[in-house]
Amino acid sequence: TDYLLAFYINPCPVQMDDFDAYLKDMSKDSAYKFSLQFEELKSVGLDLSHDAADLPINRPKNRYTNILPYDFSRVKVIYLHNDEGSDYINANYIPGYKSPREYIATQGPLPETRNDFWNMILQQKSHIIVMLTQCNERRRVKCDHYWPFTDEPVTYGEISVEMLSESESPEWTIRNFRLGYVSGSTASQDKQTTLISNLMGDNISVSLVNYILSLVKDARHKKQSLFLLLLVQIIVSHLVSSP
């Protein structure tokens, strides 16, 4: 576990003065060295268990059979009932600069996991969702459409989601939502969450990255809870920042 966290936090130390040269070197030849570094991730965590993901009742909740959350760091969804597998969602906490649970990486929701997805967002007090994929890319379904199409509230299991606003730019769409538990399901909560949808799919633009970083900086400045959900579908998961 310590090795895994150390790898994520500091896989290859680079001095600040050397960073520009390091970046230029790694970016040569279509970023070939970055590709090699990414391949090394396959050897990380092979000795860590993912028993919850392998339970027969949970297997249909995994979009990809080879991308499973570790037991020690998986996010658990809380329900009033305590059925086997009811707390499972394909999502892992990811350490950041200030916290070992600063982000959450999760897969693009399936039709049968949309309810769990919104439940996780509300329970984790997530304020920002960054979706780095499209629902359909290259004739493949990468993610189910998990938010309302209009400003009419939609209920996902125990959670009511209402779209408050929607704005588009050439590269992304920003939607603001109000969400809370439906009446009678549990103690009522009323939270607002921002969904940033990348319109370029696997092609992540510099301007989008800069915009996301500015949102993160602003949220931290205001001392708000932060949930960064990066829906990277191989790019295959959702990245999330939690309080």
Give the tens place of pLDDT for each residue, 199-241: 555 555 566 667 667 666 655 554 454 444 443 433 344 444 4
Q: What angle do CA 188, 113, 104 make, to 5 degrees?
A: 75
169 pLDDT above the threshold of 80: no
For the ranges 5-9, 60-64, 194-198, the one whose mean pLDDT is highest: 60-64
Residue 163: what pLDDT? Answer: 94
What mean pLDDT, rounded, does the chain reach?
77
Q: Please give the Cα distance from 57 to 147 (Å, whole number).
A: 25
Q: Where are the domains of the chain?
A: 48-240
Q: What is the pLDDT of residue 54?
A: 96
pLDDT given for residue 215 in this prediction: 61
Eight-class DSSP state of 194: E
- CA gap 48, 44 in Å, rounded: 9
Residue 202 pLDDT: 54
Single-letter amino acid code for the residue at 239:
L
pLDDT at 225: 46
- pLDDT value for 208: 62
Per-residue model confidence (pLDDT) at position 4 = 47
Q: What is the pLDDT of residue 226?
A: 45
Which pLDDT score, from 0 to 100, does residue 44 have?
Answer: 79
pLDDT at 220: 58
Percent above pLDDT 90 for the chain = 28
Beta carbons within 10 angstroms of residue 182's beta carbon: 14
What is the pLDDT, as a whole number, of residue 212?
Answer: 67
Q: What is the pLDDT of residues 32-86, one digit of tens each?
A: 888 887 777 777 788 899 999 999 999 999 998 988 999 999 999 988 677 888 8
Fold designation for 48-240: Protein-Tyrosine Phosphatase; Chain A (3.90.190)
The per-residue pLDDT for 101 is: 80
pLDDT tier for residue 13 given thresholds of 50, 70 and 90: confident
Reported pTM = 0.76
Query: Starting from the edge strand earliest in sequence, which strands make up the sheet with 172-181, in order?
Result: 128-131, 191-198, 172-181, 159-168, 154-156
Spatial CB neighbours of 79, under 8 Å, sequence gap ≥ 6 = 86, 87, 119, 158
Residues whose CB falls within 8 Å of the CB of residue 75, separated by 6 or more in sequence, listed in order: 69, 89, 91, 92, 93, 104, 106, 120, 124
Identify the pLDDT of residue 135.
84
Tokens of 229: 């959900």
